[in-house]
Amino acid sequence: MSSRSLQTTIIFLVIGGILALAFGGFFGSTSRQFSSVFVEIQTWASSRYLGIQDFFTAPRDLVSLRARNTELEAQVSQLQVQVIELQQRVNETEILAALVDFSRSNPESTYKAAAVIGRDPSPFLHYIIINRGSNDDIRRGMPVVTNQGLVGRVDAVIADAARVQLITDPASAVNVHLQNADTTAVALGSVTGDVSLDMISQDAIVQPGDLVLTSGLGGGYPSDLIIGQVITLRTLEYELFQQATIQPAVDFTRLAIVLVITNFRPVDITPLQPLPAP
């Protein structure tokens, strides 16, 4: 080692030692002043560096955050769609489960489930269109029900669809039996979708809440299908019959899936009806 490099090493060691003693607080107030100046300079330099770092990195973070936000929003909307789809499936499953329960509790009939795919384009008529037709052995006149009660009957059939006349249709008339009063009547539809009872004998004692079932008379419907409950009764002494309004058991505004009773064949009683006298 040359004398020059030995000299440099000694100088470095001396300065290093002095600095170490100064930072260690061995020089008293001189040491504190020195270290505070150093710390201030360090703080200033550090804060400037962080400011410059923020200036360059923050916009980059904002862009990536925005991208991530968009990505998450897309995921949320995708999940919302999935939730809606699953809710629909749950609703469908609930309806189908109720219909299966109904068909099990009424084993005398055979059923075919059908989805409601449309309604009559004219507001004057109350018909629905179902997605089962002659290919599924659906025939004209077959009754259509839900687990809640009678919906109507098949009016026209094509290969893969059928049109069903609801009991709320103004041209619909169903022979019914009032369970508690033990009397018969006719349930009539109307253009507003209300169902009323007519031809109730004046002797019959009908109460609000009485259950209305199909009587099976006339051969158009099987007996004992629920139609609804009596709400109000109108009795006028000078009229031949009493009249009543009923609350249908089926919610016709929310029909989604129905059951067609496929083993029922309506009876055509037209030839048995007396002809008007000439």
Residue 256 touching another protein (CB under 8 A): no
Which of 27, 110, 112, 120 is the binder for another protein (CB under 8 A)? 120
- Identify any residues that bridge with 198 across adjacent strands, giving them in sequence order: 186
Binding mask of the shown chain, residues 179 to 218, with x at each position contacting another protein by CB under 8 A: ---------x-xxxx-------------------------
Give residues with Cβ within 8 angstroms of 209, minimum separation 6: 229, 230
In terms of CB distance, is 100 or 186 closer to another protein? 186
Q: Is 74 in the site for another protein (CB under 8 A)?
A: no
How many chain residues bind another protein (CB under 8 A)?
22
**Judged by CB, which is closer to another protein: 132, or 163?**
163
Q: Please tell me whether residue 45 binds another protein under the rule CB under 8 A.
A: no
Residue with tokens 């619909």: 172
Length of the chain measured in residues = 278
Q: How far is the CB of 257 from another protein (least distance, A)?
A: 15
Is 155 near another protein (CB under 8 A)?
A: yes
Per-residue CA distances from 110 to 131, 133, 158, 161 (Å):
18, 16, 21, 19
- With contact defined as beta carbons under 8 Å apart, do 241 and 202 qualify? yes
- Out of 18, 117, 205, 236, the only residue in the binding site for another protein (CB under 8 A) is 117
Chain positions 127 to 146 lying near another protein, rule: CB under 8 A, are: 127, 129
* Least distance in angstroms from the C-beta of 60 to another protein: 45
Beta 173-178 vs 183-188: how paired, if at all? antiparallel
Q: Which two tokens stand for residue 238?
A: 């000078």
Q: Which residue has 């955050």 as its token pair?
A: 65
Q: Judged by CB under 8 A, does residue 122 bind another protein? A: yes
Asked whether position 125 contacts another protein by CB under 8 A, the answer is yes
Q: Which residues of 160-197 are buried (b: 16+ CB within 10 A; e: fewer)?
A: ebbbbbbbbbeebbbbbbbeebebbbbbbbeeeeebbb
Contact residues for another protein (CB under 8 A)? 117-125, 127, 129, 155-156, 163, 165, 170-171, 188, 190-193
